[in-house]
Amino acid sequence: MTISRRRTIIAHGQLATRELRLHAARNRHHGVQIMSFEQLTVRLAGGFARSIDDESLRTAIQAVLLTTELGELESIKLLPGMVDAAADTLHKAWRAGIDLATRSGEHPRLDSIARLEAAVLAQLPPNMKRPTDLVVAACLRLDHAKTVLGPIEFVGITELSPCWRPLLQALTDHTPVIWTAGPRPTPSWLDATGVSITRAPPQAPAVRSVSAATTYHEAIEAIRWARSLLASGEAEAADIAIAAASTAEYDDYFQALRADANLDLHFVHGIKVTTTRDGQAAAALADILIRGLSQTRMRRLAALCGPESGLFHALPKGWMRILPTDAPLASASAWARLLDHLEVTDWPDEQDHSATLRGIIDLLTKGHSAADEIGTALLSGRALAIWRKALLAGPWGSLDTTLETLKQDDGLDACISVSWMPANALAASPRRFVRLIGLNSSRWPRGISEDRLISDHIIPTVELNPLPIGAADRRDFDTILATTEHQIVLSRARRDSEGRLLGRSSLLSAHGDEAYIRRNAVPVHAFSETDRLIARPQEFAHEPQAISATTGWRNWHRKEITPHDGLVRAGHPLLLAILGRTQSASSLRLLLRSPLGFVWRYGMRLRMPESSTEPLVLDALGMGDLVHMTLDLALRKLEDVGGLANANEIQIATAVQHAGSDVAAVWESERAIPPAVIWRRTLDDARLLTSRALTYGDERLPDGRSYGEVAFGGAEPKSDTDGPWDPTTPVEIPGTGFRIAGYIDRLDLSGDGKRALVRDYKTGRTPKDNISLDGGRELQRCLYAFAVKALLGAEVSISASLLFPRDQIDLQLADPEGTLIKITDYLKAARANLTAGKALVGPDTGGNYDDLAFALPANAGATYCKRKLPAATEIFGDAAQVWEAQ
């Protein structure tokens, strides 16, 4: 039986500790304990002593800030970032061995920080101690050092904070202490401690310098370099490291590139929690608490939380189908109105869950003061842990920013992966092949900055922070050069992401000229299939995807019509299906003026992407809907109290005022609205247009009755008011094969049923000339007049008009029957063209009001459509004549 002797190895950082433990395990080194010097101090101090970890310190600071009088810092103690600044300052003071209580009389600022320190220490558990307190406790147990620790060896360390140095010197009297420096520089104070120093000559790796176009290009070249080493068999994954003085600027690039490269790239310093589903769930909740309720934010939160736990667990699968698509639901009152109108049958499982959803909304409206309660109720597992950590790290108002800074382990093993890390981690745990990136001026080495709470004139920076970041960057660079065995590539970016020139780091001056890597240079070794094909355009040109894209691009630039412009197989089932559906005046207008858009909208179901932001003003379509809704409701109110024909101006004004308020309430619960001031002005404008429309001084039919938003042809009625006909009766345009349905804005019928006025309201500009079809844009008067005659009988005399209430101009349709004959001919030709597979551009394709223009080539209205329209006009034949109709 072999009895192993205990010995202790002191390492710096998690990566060095892991690799030393792996080395000990592989070589069966029993009795070896590997730890940091802080952990050694805690071990020797014994009992239940613990060091003050960062999370516990932040929790304590957060708890005492409200109740502790901080003197000079009183006015800023509750500002965002105070917890972070205070934790950083206390850590610096403790590592430097500064006794804040003793020096509190030197300056009011030190007195404030000493008060904070005393409050924090009182808040922490008694067994949590400052570094100097741990050193005192450990020094009292030095007689046990040889038994507890055995011989001590420092590996991969170039410096030690002042607070630990007294214990290090004391340990040399009780157990052997070896500082294995290798080729690394040693601090000047070490020689006086009695520690045995072991040195070795520096390595002589091949060093070369390169410059890339941008930081993103640097990351790409780094991944290509790592992939080439692996593919050639020159190195194993554990031999390769990519490092920078500061990793933050490159993390997002490497996160995306490692997925594309299918490469296990380990982030030694961790990945952002917001790149994980749990982190996104916490971020979604923070978004609601900071920016308020909305349907978009609620959908995101519910999708990320999932149905497995939390309050969302009680809601049935698919419950979000109850939410109106266009409703912003931007307030608790809007959600309440929605829930009040829901029926049991609206829920997917036909059980009422309104109380559960109402409870979630009520909880979210409690705001930041109940952030912990809200997180506990809605989040679980890792997402809840992230939420609580974010609450400790900063104020609620900056939760989204705080979440961006939190990190977590990426789940990969550093000992078998290519690693991306800070330079200080690489200096402590060298690898055979190294690429250092970000070697630009002001980035490596970084500049020295004062502490946020203790300025240089209070305590000199060299005393508060004896290991400044700039000196540490230089030391790490020299250490990496001395400890890397085989190859080092020094890389910098020539420009930043905004195109500004970047200078070279002063550290590069001793390493000769740099190789200039062009952004579009062919890589020696591609890092992914995409990278490989882009680097070999001749090979990519033979790929089906490239052939299709190239052919499409060339066809777009030809004047003649090609299959890439909308030519499809004649008699295609999809074309026949959309032609066979019940049409509306709007769909038929689209068929006549943009057959391609007709197929996209009704066949392929393309829709314009909805913006998640609330509009600054209502667009023309939204304003038209608002006015039509107000008109319909005001008209119904007037008909309930004697009818529009008998109403005076005061009664009309009262009905419009009440209708506007009712419509506003419905609109606010179902659709996005502009800011409050603009919304009030918009409502006033809608009431004005409604009043002008209802008081327009035209002919009043004897004993007439007025109807608004009259459904016909199978359209669903918008109210319970009895209409003039059965809305389910089909209406077909003779000889075209088209059935039509829709809503007539206003219909006035005489008491004897012999006369009818059909009116369509327009909230836009009045046309300069009298129009009949207006190039196929205006079909409503004629089609609605035909529908009324078909439903009420041929003996009814019908007058159809367009009323522009803004200018109070009424445009009468002079010859409805003759106009219908023209429309019939145009629709026949359009139907024949589409059945033949001619789904081509028209005059409205790519125009200012084409909401499907995003699916066309860029700037299509000014280029592609103008180029193709003459050929399309020739192909359409008679159907294109409608574009010239008056």
Tens digits of residue pLDDT in 392-444: 776 667 787 888 888 888 888 888 899 999 999 999 999 999 999 999 988 89
pLDDT confidence band for 610 (50 / 70 / 90):
low
Please give the radius of gyration of the chain, using alpha carbons only, rounded to the nearest integer. Answer: 38
What is the third-level CATH fold of 206-270+411-513? Rossmann fold (3.40.50)
Question: Which amino acid type is present at position 56?
Answer: S
pLDDT at 168: 93
Mean pLDDT value across residues 339-362? 87
pLDDT at 212: 94
Per DSSP, the residues of 70-100 read -GGGGGGTTSTTHHHHHHHHHHHHHHTT--T
pLDDT at residue 112 tops 90? yes
Name, in order, each residue with C-beta under 8 angstroms of 817's C-beta and a sequence gap of 6 or more.
none
Q: Is the separation of the CB atoms in 757 and 708 below 8 Å?
A: no
Tokens matching residue 67: 């109740």
Average pLDDT over the chain, rounded to whole? 88
Hey, which residues does 240 pair with through a beta bridge?
433
Task: Please state the length of the chain.
Answer: 886
Of 588, 266, 166, 247, the closest CA to residue 424 belongs to 247
DSSP annotation of 579 reads H
Tokens matching residue 713: 């042809």
Alpha carbons 885 and 843: distance in angstroms, whole number: 13
Q: Please tell me the pTM assigned to this model.
A: 0.77
φ, ψ for residue 206 (rounded to 5)? -75, 125
Mean pLDDT value across residues 136-155? 92
Q: Is the separation of the CB atoms in 576 and 766 below 8 Å?
A: no
pLDDT at 699: 66
Of 713, 696, 569, the closest CA to residue 644 belongs to 696
pLDDT at 827: 92
Taking only the tens place, the pLDDT of each residue in 331-346 is 888 888 888 888 888 8
pLDDT at residue 549 tops 80? yes
Task: Pick from 106-110, 648-652, 701-705 the range whose average pLDDT is largest.
Answer: 106-110
Taking only the tens place, the pLDDT of each residue in 201-213 is 999 999 999 999 9
Per DSSP, the residues of 252-293 read HHHHHHHHHHT--EEETT-EEGGGSHHHHHHHHHHHHHHH--
Alpha carbons 660 and 691: distance in angstroms, whole number: 11
pLDDT at 2: 41
Handedness of CA 372, 375, 378, 383 (dihedral sign): negative
Alpha carbons 210 and 221: distance in angstroms, whole number: 10
Where on the phi/psi map is residue 563: left (φ > 0), alpha (ψ -120 to 50), or beta?
Answer: alpha
Mean pLDDT value across residues 825-847? 91
SS3 759: strand
Q: Is the separation of the CB atoms in 329 and 323 below 8 Å?
A: yes
pLDDT at residue 834 tops 50? yes
**Residue 642 or residue 872, greater confidence:** 872
Which pairing describes strands 240-244 and 433-436: parallel, antiparallel, or unpaired? parallel
Which pairing describes strands 755-761 and 742-749: parallel, antiparallel, or unpaired? antiparallel
Mean pLDDT value across residues 46-74? 88
Taking only the tens place, the pLDDT of each residue in 276-294 is 999 999 999 998 888 888 8
Q: Judge whether 7-52+124-199 and 206-270+411-513 match in fold.
A: yes
Mean pLDDT value across residues 65-84? 86
Mean pLDDT value across residues 774-785? 87
Of 519, 547, 520, 554, the closest CA to residue 536 belongs to 520
pLDDT at 318: 86
Tokens matching residue 163: 């607070």
Taking only the tens place, the pLDDT of each residue in 229-262 is 999 999 999 999 999 999 999 999 999 999 889 8
Place of tokens 């009424």: 810
pLDDT at residue 309 tops 80? no
Hey, which residues does 718 pair with through a beta bridge?
none
Hey, which residues does 8 pair with through a beta bridge?
33, 152
7-52+124-199 placed in CATH 3.30.2010: no
pLDDT at 578: 93
DSSP annotation of 706 reads E
Least confident residue range of 356-365, 430-439, 553-562, 616-625 = 616-625
DSSP annotation of 567 reads B
The domain locations on the chain are 7-52+124-199, 206-270+411-513, 274-408, 570-605+710-886, 614-695
Quick one: the chain helix, strand, coil %, rounded to 5?
A: 50, 15, 35
Of 648, 660, 712, the closest CA to residue 689 belongs to 660
Q: Is the separation of the CB atoms in 175 and 40 below 8 Å?
A: no
The percent of residues above 90 in pLDDT, for the chain, comes to 38
Taking only the tens place, the pLDDT of each residue in 1-47 is 344 578 999 999 888 988 899 889 888 888 899 999 999 999 999 87
